Structure 1
Amino acid sequence: MKLDLEGKTALITGASRGIGLEIARSLVAEGAQVVGGARNVSEELRAVTPYVHSVDLATEGGPAELVDLALSDLGGIDILVNNLGFPYTRPQGFLSVDDKGWEEALNLNLMTAVRTTRAALPSIIERQGSIVSLGSTNAHTPVGVVVDYSAAKAALLNLGKALAEEFGPRGVRVNTVAAGPVMTDAWTGPGGIADTMAEQSGLPKDEVLGQVPDMLGSSTGQNTTAQEIAAVVTFLVSRKAPNANGAEWIVDGGFLKSI
């Protein structure tokens, strides 16, 4: 399907690796110009787009700084992808998370999207563009090991619906893509979720990763890839479904069973 993204400009947060990097690749492949922001810019991202910026988006002024750089690079923003986020693992559950832990999780997984959206919205409104935020099925199925992350993603989903309601009449579409477990560094990297599960179960890490679909009740029996998430995001920011607004698009292999 031709998505007609030639001439469109996109800003992606947390674009250096994982899902963000694959979204950048997908948008560029469809003809969009992409600005990628991250605290540490990877060589892989530099190979995708010349418009890359090292910005600490977890700081109060970081998101607005990145938006200003994107406007300077490309003159305007048609597409915003709020990708930045990370599930801090809490093996000891709720009582192990102090105020500082909650503040870190909410700041990274919610407030970065709030601040980036606030800064980018004037340009997106002018161009009648699109916003997609990366959510999580944990917004619906919270567990103690990521209790603060789950709460932040539930708030992000609510934010997306509120933005769609307020700015939809002005031509802006806002959607959330909720992923189940995706085999990125958050799962497979050192200290990631797979390491935590391996420690708790006593099984080798590779065996744990192979068992994830069955453990979570996936109906496909497969783990989700970053490329799959990128494909859904790329479709949503195009104009092929102009009435898709305020929705949550779930990609999880059938893990989420609720109606």
Structure 2
Amino acid sequence: SSMEISFAGKRALVTGAGKGIGRATALALARCGAKVVAVTRTQADLNSLVQECASITPVCVDLADWEATEAALQDVGPIDLLVNNAGCAILKPFLEVTPDQFDQLFNVNVKAVLHVSQILARGMKARGSGGSIVNVSSQASQCAVRDHAVYCATKGALDMLTKVMALELGPYKIRVNSVNPTVVMTDMGRLGWSDPKKAQTMMSRIPLGQFAEVDDVVNSILFLLSDKSNMTNGVTLPVDGGFLAC
């Protein structure tokens, strides 16, 4: 059909590619013909990913480490498509948040996105062939969630980073957008929402009456990476069943 998405001839890099949304995105991009570089900090996850899809190039690095990231990504070659998916969540009541937790979340959820994007967008700009970047944000960027003070703050920051990147990189035909899912049924999602009462309270506020599946998010990422979204730049796309609408 006319909406078939192909990434043949494109090179993609996905962070946080070992698990959850990142892993599914890396595999989907490979299925759509892209050459995929998968970045994550857990070697075992990379090993199983490459076993599942031999064409994927693994890079093991902790993105919270600025110097290590610089070194790990300097030789990945030209990248056309970037998915900044790596993220972490530490849930704490507001009054109990520690400086270490604050720094850990901002380092991974915001600073590493800035850094990885700088490295790869420099190459996109120099080659003059454009590109597309998708940042994986959250409905938590726009809606307060108990015990998520720092997490919500990082995602609010990420949404504004997305918009400024779109503004400054747009002239080089590099588009930058984010996807903002509600609770997604990954291991990380189950961790935060395993309490049935808490889950029910959240789900009751979603008009479609369900949490997101990984594929719902992956399909939105593929759309934003592809030329089917050529005029979409600087948006935060909710994948939330209508949660933010009401």
Q: TM-score, normalised by structure 2?
A: 0.91
- TM-superposed CA distance for 1:143, in Å, is 2.4
The residue correspondences of 1:192-211 to structure 2 (distance < 5 A) are 192-195=191-194, 198=195, 207-208=196-197, 211=200
Question: Aligned pairs, how many?
Answer: 238
Q: CA deviation at 1:108?
A: 1.4
- Where in structure 2 are the equivalents of 1:138-157 lying within 5 Å? 138-157=140-159
How far apart are residue 213 of structure 1 and its match? 5.3
User: For residues 112 and 59 of structure 1, do their structure 2 counterparts lie closer, same or farther at Cα, with a shift above 3 Å needed?
Assistant: same
1:115 aligns with 2:115: yes
Question: Using the alignment, how far apart are the partners of 2:198 and 2:10 within structure 1?
Answer: 38
Matches within 5 A, 1:226-245: 226-245=214-233
- What is the one-letter code of the residue matched to 2:69? P
Within the candidate set 169, 184, 201, 2:186 is matched to 184
Residue ranges of structure 1 left out of the alignment (5+ in a row) = 199-206
Q: Identical aligned pairs, as a percentage?
A: 32
Is the CA contact 1:194–1:208 (under 8 Å) kept in the aligned structure 2? Answer: no
User: 1:183–1:225: 8 Å Cα contact kept in structure 2?
Assistant: yes
| Pairing of 1:1-259 with structure 2 (within 5 A) | 1-41=3-43, 42=45, 43-46=47-50, 47-48=52-53, 49-71=55-77, 76-90=78-92, 93-125=93-125, 126=127, 127-188=129-190, 192-195=191-194, 198=195, 207-208=196-197, 211=200, 214-215=203-204, 217-257=205-245
Q: Which residue of 2 aligns with 1:204?
A: none
Which one-letter code corresponds to 2:5 in the other structure?
A: L
| Residues 210 and 138 of structure 1, relative CA distance in 2, 3 Å threshold | closer
Q: Is the 8 A contact 1:94 1:147 kept in 2?
A: yes
Q: Which runs of 5+ in 2 are unaligned?
A: none
SS of the equivalent of 1:145 reads coil
Write out per-residue CA displacement over residues 161-215 of structure 1, whole angstroms, 9 at most, x where no aligned residue.
Answer: 0011111011110001111100111122xxx2134xx3xxxxxxxx458636534
How far did residue 62 of structure 1 move?
3.2
Mapped to 1, the partners of 2:13 and 2:56 lie a distance apart of 13
In structure 2, what is the Cα distance between the partners aligned to 1:66 and 1:209? Answer: 40
- Please identify runs of 4+ aligned residues in structure 1 that moved more than 4 A: none
Question: Is 1:213–1:221's contact at 8 Å kept on the other side of the alignment?
Answer: no
Aligned partners of 1:97, 1:244: CA distance in 2, in Å? Answer: 37
